[in-house]
């Protein structure tokens, strides 16, 4: 036999052996094994990245929720506001004066009320008349006798804001408010009544809380509650 014959036979054997090897299940499993290896390597790396991302989102969410919860628990429902001051931007300084016929007893309780509101640091009430463009409060008295139909109730005072607005050139917004006591009844000359009516003048409306100075029936309260303070802040620090 020639050398060429043996070389041909050798190549034939190698070819048959290779064909057998490539058709076995072990060879077919190579891609799966390779894929598994790649998947395991990816899994060993990916969880770290995913974990960091999830922790970041979760942390932000938790912090946001904790912040929302803290804000919710720390927030006091503010005393309602008079409708005409809602949405208005008002300066915190007021100039006040008394009508000539206001008796000493009324002046004294209004002075006490002024001191209470000034102590908050939210508003500043200064004696004087002010200008048309500045906030003003006029303290006064009036006389009203309750009728038979109103027996059992006494109107001790009234007060409220009066918003003056100028739009366009020289635009401004000012509150020309009033606070008045019903001089027909001596019970009106109380600090609690003056604080209540001055609260109206500054923009606070009636409250449903009996602890508030803005409760519509006099409870003798003179100290502003957290809700009263929050109401003032919503007007003058908005």
| Global confidence as pTM | 0.68
Q: Are strands 157-160 and 172-182 parallel, antiparallel or unpaired?
A: antiparallel
- State mean pLDDT over 34-49: 35
DSSP 230: H
Give the integer Cα–Cα distance in Å for 137 and 131: 12
Q: Is 11 helix (H, G, I), strand (E, B) or coil?
A: helix
Q: Specify whether the backbone of 92 is left (phi greater than 0), alpha (psi in -120 to 50) or beta.
A: alpha
Higher-pLDDT residue of 228 and 77 is 228
The residue with tokens 């409250």 is 207
Instruction: Report the C-alpha gap between 79 and 8 in whole angstroms.
Output: 105
**CB burial class (10 A; 0-12, 13-18, 19+) of residue 23?**
exposed
Domains of the chain, by residue range, sit at 3-74, 83-236
Mark 162-180 as b/e (b = at least 16 C-beta within 10 Å). Answer: eeeeeeeeeeebbbbbbbb
First to last CA, the chain: 109
- Tell me the average pLDDT across 116-143: 97
Band (182; pLDDT cuts 50, 70, 90):
very high
pLDDT, residue 97, reads 98
207, 227 contact by CB (below 8 A): yes
Pairwise CA distance, residues 136 & 106, whole Å: 18
Residue 25, pLDDT above cutoff 50: no
Least confident of 59-68, 124-133, 194-203: 59-68
Task: Name 160's bridge partners.
Answer: 178
Percent of the chain with pLDDT over 90: 62
Q: Distance between CA atoms of 76 and 224, rounded to whole angstroms?
A: 13
How many other C-beta atoms are found inside a 10 Å radius of the C-beta of residue 181? 27
Axis-axis angle for helices 104-119, 191-202 (nearest 10): 60
pLDDT for position 75: 46
How far is residue 67's CA from residue 216's CA, in Å, rounded to a whole number?
35
Q: Which CATH architecture has domain 83-236?
A: 3-Layer(aba) Sandwich (3.40)
> Judging by beta carbons within 10 Å of its beta carbon (0-12, 13-18, 19+), is residue 236 exposed, middle or buried?
buried
């Amino acid at each position: 036999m020639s050398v060429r014959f043996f070389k041909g036979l050798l190549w034939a054997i190698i070819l048959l052996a290779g064909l057998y090897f490539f058709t076995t299940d072990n060879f077919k499993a190579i891609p799966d094994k390779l894929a598994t290896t790649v998947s395991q390597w990816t899994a060993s790396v990916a969880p770290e990245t995913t974990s960091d991302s999830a922790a970041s989102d979760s942390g932000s969410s938790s912090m946001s929720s904790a912040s929302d919860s803290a804000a919710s628990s720390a927030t006091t429902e503010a005393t309602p506001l008079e409708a005409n001051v809602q949405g208005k931007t008002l300066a915190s300084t007021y100039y006040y004066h008394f009508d000539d016929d206001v008796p000493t007893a009324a002046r004294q309780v209004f002075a006490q009320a002024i001191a209470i509101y000034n102590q908050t640091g939210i508003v500043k009430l200064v004696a004087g008349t002010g200008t048309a463009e500045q906030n003003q409060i006029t303290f006064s008295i009036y006389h009203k006798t309750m009728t038979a139909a109103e027996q059992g109730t006494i109107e001790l005072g009234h007060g409220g804001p009066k918003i003056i607005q100028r739009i366009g050139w020289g635009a401004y917004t000012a509150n020309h408010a009033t606070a008045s006591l019903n001089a027909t009844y001596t019970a009106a000359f109380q600090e609690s009544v003056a604080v209540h009516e001055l609260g109206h003048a500054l923009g606070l409306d009636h409250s449903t809380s009996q602890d508030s100075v803005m409760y519509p029936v006099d409870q003798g309260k003179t100290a502003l509650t957290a809700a009263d303070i929050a109401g003032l802040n919503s007007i003058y620090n908005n």
